[in-house]
Structure 1
């Protein structure tokens, strides 16, 4: 799931997954962090989910995927679109 908050000069985007699906550490990896695994690792929240928040510029499109333990890459089904290889997010 993706939570968004519009800001005056951009957007605050929170990537949210269940606490244990998939198991182990998960990070969101995309063009906004130079596709660097571990740069934005999802952390547990009190509501039983895990999440990470990223600030992005306004009126931009970003490609991203999730990376879980065991080199397991997967897409966000609630993304704004998909380009064949990645999930897409519009701010």
Structure 2
């Protein structure tokens, strides 16, 4: 799930994964962190879900994916687009 808050010249995007899916650590990787695994790990929330907030410039298309323990890459169904390899988010 994606939560977005648009500000004057930036968009705050919170990437959210449901509790226990997938098991183990997970991070979001993409254009905004040079695709570095672990740069933006998702942290537990009180409701059991996991999330991380990333601030991005407005009016851009950003590629991203999730990466979980065991080199498990997976997609975000709520992304603005998919190209068969990556998810896309329009800020």
1:26 and 2:26 aligned? yes
Q: How many residues align?
A: 91
Paired residue for 1:51?
51
* Structure 2: stretches of 5+ with no match in the other structure: none
TM-score, scaled to structure 2: 0.98
* Cα deviations by residue, 1:8-30 (Å, 9 ceiling, x for unpaired): 11100000001211000000000
Structure 1 position 52, deviation (Å): 0.2
SS in 1 for 2:32: helix
Structure 1 vs Structure 2 CA RMSD: 0.6
Gaps of 5+ in 1: none
TM (norm. structure 1) is 0.98
2:54 equivalent to 1:60: no
| Per-residue deviation, residues 52-82 of structure 1 (Å, max 9, x unmatched) | 0000000000000000000000010110000
Listed as ranges, the matches of 1:67-86 within 5 Å are: 67-86=67-86
